[in-house]
C-alpha cells in the first residue's frame, strides 16, 4: 500500500513499517492527579444519510472518559477495539502495516475502568476529542487519562470510514473504503489533486456534522445515561484535536457557539492554494475570536504538501490570527518533535522511544509537558480559573516550547 505523501498532515496516515519488537512496557505512566478514569462506549445511529455507503444511515461511536470510582482490574490497551478486540486489532495492524506483536496491545495496562460507576460529585467540564484521520480515537489514551484525572470529561469521537478501524458497541466494524484509499493514491500518481477537493469537503462536512450531533446528544446523556447522568457540564465545552482533527477543532472553535476554546496538536487550517477546498466555515475560522492553543512540530510546519509553499500557506493563517490580539491565543513549536509524537505509539513500541523515531525529545518528557499544558489551558478556560494563567505562561515560554517566529 502506498500512502499519499500529501495527506500526512491534515490526514494522518501513519504507514508504519516497523521492525519487530517483542519488548513492551506494562502500563501507561502513573497519573499524578485526583481521579480514577472510567470509560463507556456509545453507538450513535444517525438519521443522516451516509456519504460512504449508499442507502445507509450514518453510524459512528463515541468513547467517553470520566472521573470514576476505582475498580479492581483496569482495562488493557486492546480494549479500544471491544467488543471484538481480536478482529479489530488484526484489521488495525493490517491497515497501518505494522510488524510489532499484538501482545504489546494486550499487555499494556491502562488506568481506565470500563463502565465504572461515576463519583456522583457533580458536573465536570467537557473536552471533545478529534483524532487524526486513518488512525483510531483509541490511540490517545495517555491524553484522555490525564485530562480526566484532573477533573474533565473527554468525549472521543470515532468517525467511521475515516478511522482506520471503528468497532461499534453493536459489534459492527467499519474500515476506510477502498475507493477512498484509491482516490488518494491515484491523485499522487498523476500529480493532480483537483479531484480531492470534493473528497476533502465531504470529509470535513461529515466530521463537523458528527461533532454537532454529539453536542446535541450531550443533554440527553446527562438526563438518561445511567453512568453519565448529571455529570456533564453542558455550559463548559472545549475541543482538542490532532492532525486532521486539529483542523476540525479550529473550524468548530470559529463557528460553533457551544464550544468555548480549542487546542490543535500539529495542525493548522490550510487552503492548499485552492479556494474551493475551504468551506465558508473554514474561511471564517481563519479569524479566531475565542481562546485557542496550537502546538506544532517544525517537521510538519515546514513540509511541502500538494506542491504548495508551506511557508506561504501557514503564514496566511497565522497572520489572520494576529488580527485578534486581545483574545487568549498561543502558538508554539514543541522542540524536536514529529507528527506522531502526540499519540500513544511510543508506549506501544518501546523501540520507537529508544531510537527517537518520534524526534530527539525524550518521549516521557514530551508527554509530561504536553499533559501539563493541556490541563492548564482547559483549567483556565473551562473551569474559569485565572490563577492558573501564570503557571501556563511560564510553562509555554520555556523549553521545550519555542516561539513560532524562531
User: Does position 262 have pLDDT exceeding 60, yes or no?
Assistant: yes
pLDDT at 117: 95
pLDDT at 201: 77
User: Does position 295 have pLDDT exceeding 60, yes or no?
Assistant: yes
The whole-number average pLDDT for the span 121-143 is: 93
Which phi-psi region, left, alpha or beta, contains residue 115 (left: φ > 0; alpha: ψ -120 to 50)? left
Listed in sequence order, the residues at least 6 apart from 387 whose beta carbon sits closer than 8 Å to its beta carbon are none
Strand-pair partners of 62:
42, 157
- What is the C-alpha separation between 305 and 358, in angstroms, rounded? 20
Residue 405 falls inside a structural domain? no
Q: Peptide bond preceding 288: is omega within 30 degrees of 0, i.e. cis? A: no
Residue 338 falls inside a structural domain? yes
- Lowest mean pLDDT across 43-57, 180-194, 265-279, 370-384: 265-279
Residue 391 falls inside a structural domain? yes
Instruction: Tell me the chain's radius of gyration from C-alpha atoms.
Output: 20
Residue 383 falls inside a structural domain? yes
Q: pLDDT tens, 33-88?
A: 778 999 999 999 999 999 887 889 999 999 999 999 888 889 999 999 999 999 99
- Lowest mean pLDDT across 187-191, 245-249, 361-365: 187-191
The model carries a pTM of: 0.89
User: Does position 144 have pLDDT exceeding 50, yes or no?
Assistant: yes
- Lowest mean pLDDT across 118-122, 273-277, 402-406: 273-277
Between strands 401-403 and 329-334, the pairing is antiparallel
CB atoms within 10 A of CB 299: 15
Residue 63 falls inside a structural domain? yes
Cell numbers found for residue 143: 491524553
Q: pLDDT tens, 200-229?
A: 778 889 999 999 999 999 999 999 999 999
- What is the C-alpha separation between 301 and 232, in angstroms, rounded? 36
Q: Which of 243, 260, 289 is nearest to 377 (CA)?
A: 260
Domain that residue 23 falls in: 5-398
| CATH code of the domain in which 199 resides | 3.40.50.1820
- What is the C-alpha separation between 88 and 168, in angstroms, rounded? 10
Residue 56 falls inside a structural domain? yes
Q: What is the DSSP string of 353-379?
A: HHTTTT-SS-HHHHHHHHHHHHHHHHH
Tell me the pLDDT of the chain averaged across its residues: 82
Cell numbers found for residue 294: 496550537
User: Does position 269 have pLDDT exceeding 80, yes or no?
Assistant: no
**pLDDT band at residue 297, thresholds of 50, 70 and 90?**
confident
Q: Which of 154, 83, 171, 160 is nearest to 112 (CA)?
A: 154
Task: State the total domains in the chain.
Answer: 1
- What is the C-alpha separation between 388 and 377, in angstroms, rounded? 8
Residue 403 falls inside a structural domain? no
Residue 41 half-sphere exposure toward CB, CA atoms < 13 A: 19
Residue 354 falls inside a structural domain? yes
**pLDDT band at residue 271, thresholds of 50, 70 and 90?**
very low
pLDDT at 51: 83
Q: pLDDT tens, 320-331?
A: 665 555 556 788
**pLDDT band at residue 21, thresholds of 50, 70 and 90?**
very low
- What is the C-alpha separation between 178 and 199, in angstroms, rounded? 14
Amino acid at each position: 500500500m502506498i500512502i499519499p505523501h500529501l495527506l500526512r498532515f491534515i490526514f494522518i496516515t501513519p504507514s508504519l513499517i516497523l521492525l519487530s519488537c517483542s519488548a513492551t512496557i506494562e502500563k501507561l505512566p502513573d497519573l499524578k492527579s485526583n481521579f480514577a478514569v472510567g470509560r463507556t462506549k456509545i453507538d450513535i445511529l444517525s438519521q443522516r444519510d451516509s456519504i460512504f455507503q449508499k442507502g445507509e444511515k450514518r453510524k459512528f461511536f463515541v468513547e467517553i472518559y470520566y472521573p470514576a470510582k476505582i475498580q479492581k482490574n483496569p482495562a488493557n490497551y486492546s480494549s479500544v477495539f471491544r467488543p471484538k478486540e481480536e478482529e479489530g486489532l488484526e484489521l488495525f495492524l493490517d491497515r497501518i502495516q505494522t510488524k510489532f506483536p499484538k501482545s504489546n496491545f494486550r499487555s499494556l495496562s491502562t488506568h481506565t475502568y470500563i463502565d465504572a460507576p461515576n463519583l456522583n460529585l457533580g458536573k465536570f467540564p467537557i473536552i471533545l476529542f478529534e483524532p487524526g484521520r486513518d488512525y483510531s480515537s483509541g490511540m490517545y489514551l495517555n491524553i484522555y487519562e490525564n485530562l480526566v484525572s484532573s477533573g474533565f470529561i473527554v468525549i472521543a469521537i470515532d468517525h467511521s470510514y475515516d478511522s482506520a478501524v471503528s468497532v461499534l458497541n453493536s459489534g459492527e466494524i467499519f474500515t476506510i473504503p477502498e475507493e477512498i484509499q484509491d482516490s488518494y493514491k491515484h491523485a499522487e500518481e498523476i500529480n493532480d489533486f483537483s479531484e480531492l477537493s470534493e473528497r476533502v469537503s465531504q470529509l470535513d462536512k461529515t466530521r463537523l456534522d458528527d461533532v454537532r450531533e454529539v453536542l446535541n446528544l450531550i443533554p440527553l446523556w446527562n438526563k438518561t445515561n445511567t453512568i453519565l447522568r448529571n455529570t456533564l457540564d453542558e455550559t463548559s465545552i472545549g475541543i482538542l484535536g490532532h492532525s486532521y482533527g486539529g483542523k476540525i477543532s479550529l473550524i468548530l472553535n470559529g463557528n460553533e457557539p457551544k464550544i468555548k476554546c480549542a487546542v490543535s496538536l500539529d495542525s493548522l487550517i490550510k487552503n492548499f492554494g485552492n479556494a474551493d477546498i475551504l468551506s465558508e466555515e473554514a474561511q471564517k475560522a481563519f479569524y479566531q475570536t475565542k481562546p485557542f492553543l496550537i502546538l506544532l512540530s517544525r517537521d510538519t510546519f515546514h513540509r511541502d504538501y500538494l506542491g504548495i509553499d508551506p511557508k506561504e500557506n501557514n503564514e496566511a493563517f497565522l497572520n489572520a490570527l494576529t488580527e485578534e490580539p486581545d483574545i487568549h491565543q498561543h502558538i508554539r513549536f514543541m522542540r524536536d518533535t514529529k507528527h506522531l509524537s502526540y499519540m500513544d505509539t511510543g508506549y506501544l513500541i518501546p523501540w520507537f522511544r529508544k531510537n527517537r523515531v518520534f524526534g530527539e525529545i525524550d518521549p516521557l518528557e514530551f508527554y509530561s509537558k504536553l499533559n501539563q499544558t493541556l490541563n492548564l489551558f482547559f483549567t483556565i478556560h473551562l473551569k474559569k480559573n485565572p490563577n492558573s494563567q501564570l503557571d501556563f505562561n511560564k510553562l509555554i515560554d520555556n523549553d521545550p516550547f519555542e516561539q513560532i517566529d524562531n
